[in-house]
Amino acid sequence: MRAPKRTLLEGIDSPADLRRVPEDKLPQLAQELRDFLIAAVSRTGGHLAAGLGTVELTIALHYVFDTPDDRIVWDVGHQTYPHKILTGRRDHMHTLRSAGGLSGFPRRPESVYDTFGVGHSSTSISAALGMAVAAARKRSSQQVVAVIGDGALTAGMAFEALNNAGDMDANLLVILNDNDMSISPNVGALSNYLARVLTGRVYSSVREGSKTVLSTIQPVFQLAKRVEEHIKGIVTPGTLFEELGFNYIGPIDGHDLASLVPTLRNIRSLTGPRFLHVITRKGKGYEPAEGDPCVYHGVTPFDPSTGKMESRPSGKTFTQVFGEWLCDEAEQDRRLIGITPAMREGSGLVEFSKRFPDRYFDVGIAEQHAVTFAAGLACEGLKPVVAIYSTFLQRAYDQAIHDVAIQNLPVTFAIDRGGLVGADGATHAGSFDLSYLRCIPNFVIMTPADENECRQMLHTAFCHDGPTAVRYPRGTGPGIATQNALSVIPLGTAEIRRSGTRVALLAFGTLLGAALEAASALNATVVNMRFVKPLDTATITALARSHELLVTIEENVVAGGAGSAVAEFLAHQQITVPLLHLGLPDEFLEHGSPKQLLAECGLDAAGIRRQVEAVLPGLARISESA
């Protein structure tokens, strides 16, 4: 019996194998790669549409450039699944985003082909520029390529890097993967032709030779330079990038390998700052993803024949609670303005954007601008609500301090993805917000334990005349029904949920459920602390005087977090009581399911009980010696 014929993709375990494939076979390889990607992600879930759009571009880059010696720096990482498949990780794609498996993003320890670890957008040009400068200092012929999407190019950081690179005359290629423009056959053919001409040896040699000759006749040279700029400005949209010092090429069809490969070859022979504009289609080659690339951006496991995804966990998510509250509050107060840095769907603002379009602002991937924009609105009597992921707020930390807190402005921060986020891993985990916000004067910080408390805290924050943060996790809560009526929670008030002896568990946020479960076996008191700042100092004082051990529990790093706030208060009051701080460890936690990660950190009910029980014998000895 004859063995089944191997596909082209099955013969590729590295880019070196790819470069041995005949050029006319690359379209066949692209189809095989696209089919494999759909099948793999249908089993694991993950980011799909972006990767489908970069299949041909990924093949062309690894085909033309000598990776890993040449460096390819990917932006964000959503688009890098084809890159992973072609760089020796094809047989491990079934482990994607699971504990101990492949990361959903480029990660340096995972592969020599992952030149820069990334999860947040708009970092690729800066990192690639650093690599290009390093190559120049080493007198290396190494090529450096940054691949950035049109969405990521909305961030100021990307333009800071472009401005710096053009001014330095760095040997760097920036590829704009533009999947937000349509490209007609006529425009595509013209653009592809122009790209080949503008990067060809004849054009380049004439261009450089003319510069040399005409530079001796300055008036003629300046005229020729302006003529070239105007001609290129007529037929290409690259005037901005030319002004920044880049040689702009494109736009070119990013799915046409017959144009991509020779264009990249030509560009590779050039030097200095180069900018290639590539048009792609998000979700390319898979009808459900092409029809709704937003839905198929990040997917649960699905049926590849129909595109139907597995149902998500039932119950209302905290993000949905926020979205409903925002619309309800906006109905009552016309001063409310909703702001998101390019996360309308993820942060729950879809309905608000439809019902209140004149009060909805998506500022792009520009977190710093989002916060200072909100501050300006607040200065003029409006009430801005900034919907932002915890890990993205880190990028606007200076603005939170300098532009909001110092001026004590009434800006509400609705902080989604607080704590562990599971499969997205360390780059997206909201591990630090309680620590980095708690030290800022004027901030009020709240941690709801359930859905209804989240709704009421958002209202409390909105009514407060100063900066506030309501921090809630990804996914569903314990299932507490939300009340339509909105009420203000008095600042700095905790509530005792269970009375016990010896041990008091002080829970901040949704770990209250685990604390209550552990407390049954420990006969412990459980407090829903609710506020990280201001603390309920009266309750803490009373518990310290009536219990042998106080245990703080938070889904935030222990260092500088809510538990630290409790310890600082007790030390200031010279109240001595044994303390046990439970929270996230002083390390970056990798991807895995939230349940698994919480257990590893000892933040599930069993872990809390185990750690408390380990301390109790020591307390008894201290008591006896006293």
Active site residues: 282, 367, 395
- Which phi and psi (to 5°) does residue 121 adopt? -80, 165
Cα torsion 617, 619, 624, 626 to 10°: value is 160
The answer to whether the beta carbons of residues 391 and 427 sit under 8 Å apart is: yes
CA-based nearest residue to 349, from 316, 368, 322, 374: 322
Instruction: Check if the beta carbon of residue 581 is closer than 8 Å to that of residue 505.
Output: no
Strand partners, 348: none
Peptide bond into 251 cis (omega under 30): yes
Closest by CA position to 426, among listed 472, 450, 394: 394
- Provide DSSP, 28-52: HHHHHHHHHHHHHHHHH-EE-HHHH
Q: Taking Cα atoms as reference points, which of 358, 421, 349, 357 lies closest to residue 385?
A: 349
Rounded to 5 degrees, what are φ and ψ at 294?
Answer: -70, -45
In degrees, rounded to 5, the angle at the alpha carbon of residue 13 between the alpha carbons of residues 8 and 16 is: 90
Do the Cβ atoms of 452 and 483 come closer than 8 Å?
A: yes
Helix orientation angle between 185-199 and 201-214, rounded to the nearest 10 degrees: 60
Class of residue 46 by CB neighbours under 10 A (exposed 0-12, middle 13-18, buried 19+): buried
Helix (H) / strand (E) element for 229: namely helix 218-235
For residue 402, give every residue at least 6 positions away whose Cβ sits within 8 Å of its Cβ, in sequence order, or none: none
Three-state SS string over 473-490 comes to CCCECCCCCCCCCCCCCC
> In Å, how far are 131, 176, 188, 274 from 246, measured between CA atoms?
17, 13, 22, 5
